[in-house]
Structure 1
Amino acid sequence: MDSTAIVWIAVLMALGAALYSSVGHGGASAYLATMALFSVAPETMKPTALALNLLVAGFGAWRYSSKGLCNWKLVLAFALTATPAAFIGGGIHLPAIYYKPLVGILLWLAAARLLWQPRQLAEREPHAPSLAVTLPTGAVLGVLAGLTGTGGGIFLSPLIILFGWEEPRRTSGVVSAFIFANSVAGLAGNVASIGRLPSELPIFITAVAIGAGLGTWLGVSRLPRPWLLRFLGAVLLVAGAKLLFT
């Protein structure tokens, strides 16, 4: 990669980390979108996204947990199946002909979630889901997390909010811890993929660390969140189209 591309990738990754960490996410879909825009090789995209996810989600989990905003029982209810499933998914190598459309579709789904901002649900008392719900859901999200290099949080958080399993602020803590566990398992499931990490990784790590620090400090209430998330959603749409049609 030339220096100009590296700078732009780092800037976009920092922006993605700031936006996603503000709501407890690791930002993998943003990192995948950025790498897709700059035609990074698919075999490099997956481990890089997981490695960056690991840092951002780990920081977010620590930050939310230290403030008492993480429901560890709910994390465990999903992680019991998600973590081993992510380990299995991480060991599966998909050829580019399959990986690119799969990630492209996931990016579009993530974009739809970002572009569609429903009104805040009416206040209600959170209720814990049964293991009959969390165990299969965790397994599906875990496989997707390891297979594609995402943490699964972009899908878990709307489920938690929509079904009233936890209140919004604590949902961010749950999702951060969930993503961290899946990212660890995804990388462990395919240790060989670490050899495909780019030499520019220290630059990208520095960028997302700065973004995560800013995002978790600002928080949702201090950001003009709807418009920023819509902008990010537009980037995901473009990147998804690039993977699907080129």
Structure 2
Amino acid sequence: MELIPYFEFVLPLIFFVVAFVYSSIGLGGGSSYTALMVIVGMSTLVVPMMSLSLNLFVSTLGSYNFLRNKHGKLSIILPFLISAIPFAYLGGTLHLSKTTFLWVLLMSLIVVAVRIYFWKNAGFRLDLNHQKKSSSL
């Protein structure tokens, strides 16, 4: 039983809104795509690769605009890209049972929620502006 009638028409619109909101703050929205697809009852064999592909598309567009507007340096981002993209697809190709997939999804979303709401001072700051401040002596 589907929770949303005609989800094949509604889901792309919801994905567009999710992609717009997430990309406006520099994210891809992968966890939201995954949750939405599970809610509407899509096969757990399709969800990881579809979510990964959507996330990669939105993140690529956001990264391109980020770098084009000189908000970052490719030399800092490149090591993450080189390691993240192949391992994300490797993870997306794993075949898990539906129960295992849903438990892994639940646990990862709980960890993210705990990180967001309870672990506030775990960030770091990079100074990408290399202008030297002049001192008046």
In structure 2, the partner of 1:20 is: 22
Give the match for residue 35 of structure 2: 33
Aligned equivalent of 1:191: none
Residues 88-237 of structure 1: pairs in structure 2 closer than 5 A: 88-112=90-114, 116=117, 162-165=123-126
- How far 1:67 moved relative to its partner? 0.3
In structure 2, the CA distance between the partners of 1:112 and 1:19, relative to structure 1 (3 Å rule), is farther
Alignment match, 2:133: none
User: Aligned equivalents of 1:31 and 1:51: distance in 2?
Assistant: 10
Distance 2:51 2:39 in 1: 14
Higher relative helix content: 1
Shift of 1:27: 0.8
Partner of 2:11: 9
Deviation at 1:26?
0.9
3-state SS, counterpart of residue 104 of structure 1: helix
The SS at the match of 1:58 is helix
TM-score (norm 1): 0.44
Deviates more, 1:101-110 or 1:1-10: 1-10
Percent sequence identity over matched residues? Answer: 24
Asked if 2 retains the 8 angstrom alpha-carbon contact of 1:28 and 1:50, the reply is yes
CA contact 2:52–2:92 (8 Å) conserved in 1: no
| 1:50 alignment partner in structure 2 | 52
Q: Does structure 1 retain, via aligned residues, the 8 Å contact 2:34–2:47?
A: yes
- Identify the structure with bigger relative contact order (alpha carbons < 8 Å, sequence gap 6+): 1
| Structure index of larger Rg | 2
Q: 1:4 to 1:82 in 2, by over 3 A?
A: closer
> Is 1:72 matched with 2:74?
yes
Contact 1:33 1:107 in 2 (8 A): no
Partner of 1:130: none
Give the TM-score taking structure 2 as reference length: 0.73
Cα distance in 2 for residues equivalent to 1:105 and 1:57:
23
Q: In the TM superposition, what is the alpha-carbon distance from 1:90 to its structure 2 partner? A: 3.4
Change (3 A) 1:87 1:37: closer
The change in CA–CA distance for 1:6 and 1:117 in structure 2 (over 3 A counts) is farther
For 2:68 and 2:29, locate their aligned partners in 1 and report how far apart those are by CA, in whole Å: 21
How far, CA to CA, are the matches of 1:111 and 1:8 in structure 2? 27
- For the aligned residues, what is the CA RMSD? 2.9
Task: Provide closer, same or farther for how the CA distance between residues 51 and 81 of structure 1 changes in structure 2, counting only shifts above 3 A.
Answer: closer
Give the aligned partner of residue 64 of structure 2.
Answer: 62
Q: 1:164 to 1:58 in 2, by over 3 A?
A: same
Q: Deviations over 1:190-220 (max 9, x none)?
A: xxxxxxxxxxxxxxxxxxxxxxxxxxxxxxx
Supply the distance in 1 between the matched residues of 2:89 and 2:52 (Cα, whole angstroms). 12
